Structure 1
Amino acid sequence: MNQTSARSDKLRQVVVAISAVVALIGSFIGSGAAGGTPIQNASNGALAADATLIAPDGPAFSIWSVVYLGLVAYAIWQFLPAQTKQIRHRLLGYPAAASLLLNAAWILSIQFDLLWLSVPIIVILLAVLAWIFVLLLRYRPSNTWDALITDGTMGLYLGWVCVATAANVSAVLVASGFAGFGLNPNIWSVLVLAVAAAVGIALALYGKGRLAPTASLCWGLVWVAVARLTGDLLSTPTAVAALVATALVLIVTLAARFRATSSTRSSRSSRSSGPAATA
């Protein structure tokens, strides 16, 4: 039984490591460094900063460097003996591997001009990351390093993919000739940003103020605002909506975190002042 568990753990760890390598190769292809077309130029520029009102400005995508660095750190971290048998890593391993492979699949769909295929891929990726978020909340980190490497990385990954999903769907609709049922594009952009804000608020409340998802989601929203104020495709209503969405998500996150921290302190205080503590 122990040998079976050991083999299962080793297989999971190897799958995560291989998936991380595949994702890194995909990132090099997507950056244009390995002969591929940079994402912003692929698919006839459908994902360029001036392709849609929801597209973030170019520098926003630098967050991928941080996310990939964290994912590599996680792939190494989950190999360490102290993490091998932990229930959170046993449950997290295959969903994490799936997210890495979906990431690479998304890049390939863009590289091969299969823009329509990128939507179901990124939606599934978002669902997998949401499930990972649930698992991480259900099974607490063993120490500060685990919280930073595992929870921090996956949180940044989730928050950014929330923004990327909105931008991706918008790009596909525009590229397909969707006219918005005659509504002004600014109305659509504000509605999409309102949905992004609602998702961010939901994550903040459910996660009791987790900072990583909020940080990357707000990073993306701010760069949407920058693109609409300074880029080739200007839109003051979109920029204002993005900044308002950012502020709302930040406020709710900080409030939820303060409430969770206060609740934890109150609980500890109650236990320490109970009959056993005062005896």
Structure 2
Amino acid sequence: MFSIPSMKLKLLNAFALAVIIAVNGLANALPLNGQTTGSISDRLNVLFTPAGYVFSIWGVIYLLMILWVLRAFFAKPTEEHIYAGIGYTFILSCIFNVLWLFLFHYEIFYGTMAAILGLWLSLGVIYMKIKTNPRRGLLLVPISVYFGWVTVASITNIGVVLTSNGVRGWIIDGSWWTALAIAAASAAVILFYKKTGDVLYTLVFVWAFTGIFTQRWQEVNLVAWTAAAAALILFVQLFFRPKSKFTHL
């Protein structure tokens, strides 16, 4: 017998998502603490940060998550079971999302690492609860994109913390650290793809690395061409479907 998520949980999920969208919009419209998210990012100039257009992915994520939340109100019995299993984890992820935004705008950068880690872990739990259910339908699509992008953002956030504390060229030049981060992230994504066969998660990294190349190709060749190579490798591997115990997207 399937567990049915309460109407209260469905409404809270919808409210939490609405809060995220509203707070993110107001944070840049007001702006929060007198500065936009983009202006802080530009000032820090973290080498892992992609070109501005790449962040348009948030519009895609919000649209997909709106559909994901609304689907709960019209879910099939098998999908109801998945939503019930997720419980309040999605609301927890929303809390971490908003918390990160406030910490970032007030430049409490060490705190942002804790917040984004909480967001990443929350989405990871949701991802696995959906991914391991063979009757998930399309419920994983929004979470794959969101989880992938938060993974990219988490790596960038490490760069934010280091740069804000003057640690950019420790032992080796900052461009080498960034190139190594891109290589390590690419290796992790390849392993993740071999394990899960998740095309969308991988494509998020292709999008991000292409954006890093676009942002850096005229100033930091090592970072730019490492990002370009990583994007190409990740894209090509999508044509080789892995053997996985998970059902693919």
TM-score by length of 1: 0.79
Larger Rg: 1
Q: 1:111 to 1:50 in 2, by over 3 A?
A: closer
CA distance in 2, matches of 1:64, 1:85: 25
Following TM superposition, where does structure 1 have runs of at least 4 consecutive aligned residues deviating by more than 4 angstroms? none
With over 3 angstroms needed to count, the CA separation of the structure-2 counterparts of 1:194 and 1:142, relative to structure 1, is closer
Cα displacement (A) at 1:140: 2.7
Structure 2 CA distance for aligned equivalents of residues 250 and 49 of structure 1: 31
Correspondence for 2:117 = 123
- What code does the residue aligned with 1:192 have? A
Does structure 1 residue 39 correspond to structure 2 residue 37?
yes
Q: CA RMSD in A?
A: 2.5
Question: Does the residue aligned with 2:73 lie in a helix, a strand or coil?
Answer: coil
2:180 aligned residue: 191
Are 2:220 and 1:235 aligned? yes
1:35-87 C-alpha deviation (Å, 9 max, x unpaired): 4332011xxx2x22870211111101000000011111111111225358732
Q: Residue 72 of structure 2 is aligned with which of 70, 78, 81?
A: 78
Give the partner amino acid of 2:146. Answer: Y
Amino acid at match of 2:20: A
Q: How many angstroms does 1:19 deviate by?
A: 1.0
In the aligned structure 2, how far is the partner of 1:69 from the partner of 1:108?
Answer: 22
Structure 2: distance between partners of 1:218 and 1:250: 6
Contact 1:88–1:135, Cα closer than 8 Å, also in 2: yes
Letter in 2 for 1:220: A
Gaps of 5+ in 1: 265-279
Q: Is the 8 A contact 1:77 1:83 kept in 2?
A: no
Task: Mark the CA change 1:196 to 1:142 in structure 2 (over 3 Å): closer, same or farther.
Answer: closer
- Evaluate the alpha carbon distance shift between residue 98 and residue 199 of structure 1 in structure 2; reply closer, same or farther with a 3 A threshold: farther
Contact 2:44 2:160 in 1 (8 A): no
**What is the identity, as a one-letter code, of the residue corresponding to 1:244?**
A
In structure 2, runs of 5+ residues without a counterpart are none
CA 238–72 in structure 1, closer or farther in 2 if over 3 Å, else same: same
Alignment partners' CA distance in 2, 1:220 and 1:29: 25
Instruction: Describe the shift of the 1:111–1:212 C-alpha distance in structure 2 as closer, same or farther (beyond 3 A).
Output: same
User: Pick from 204, 209, 220: which aligns with 1:221?
Assistant: 209
1:249 corresponds in structure 2 to: 234
Q: Tell me the CA shift for residue 20 of structure 1.
A: 0.6
TM-score (norm 2): 0.88
Q: Which residue of 1 aligns with 2:162?
A: 173
Of 27, 48, 59, the match for 2:24: 27
For residues 90 and 219 of structure 1, the distance between their equivalents in structure 2, rounded to whole angstroms, comes to 32
Aligned to 1:158: 147
Distance 1:26 1:98 in 2: 16
CA-CA distance at 1:142 after TM superposition: 4.7
Q: Check the 8 A contact 2:209/2:227 in 1, yes or no.
A: yes
**Cα 1:221–1:213, aligned 2, differ >3 Å: closer, same or farther?**
same
Seen in structure 2, the aligned counterparts of structure 1 residues 71 and 88 have a Cα distance that, compared at 3 Å, is same
Matched length: 244
Q: Residues of 2 paired with 1:201 and 1:100: CA distance?
A: 28
- Percent identical across equivalent pairs? 20
Assess, with a 3 A threshold, how the Cα gap between structure 1 residues 229 and 85 changes in structure 2: closer, same or farther.
closer
Residues 208-238 of structure 1 show CA distances to partners (whole Å, capped at 9, x for unaligned) of 2x221112121111101111014xxx21111
Hey, what's the Cα distance between the residues in 2 that align with 1:18 and 1:73? 14
**What corresponds to 1:205 in structure 2?**
194
- Counterpart code for 1:33: A
* In 2, Cα distance between equivalents of 1:175 and 1:109: 13
Cα separation, 1, equivalents of 2:188 and 2:74: 34
| Closer/same/farther in 2, CA of residues 142 and 157 from structure 1, 3 Å limit | closer
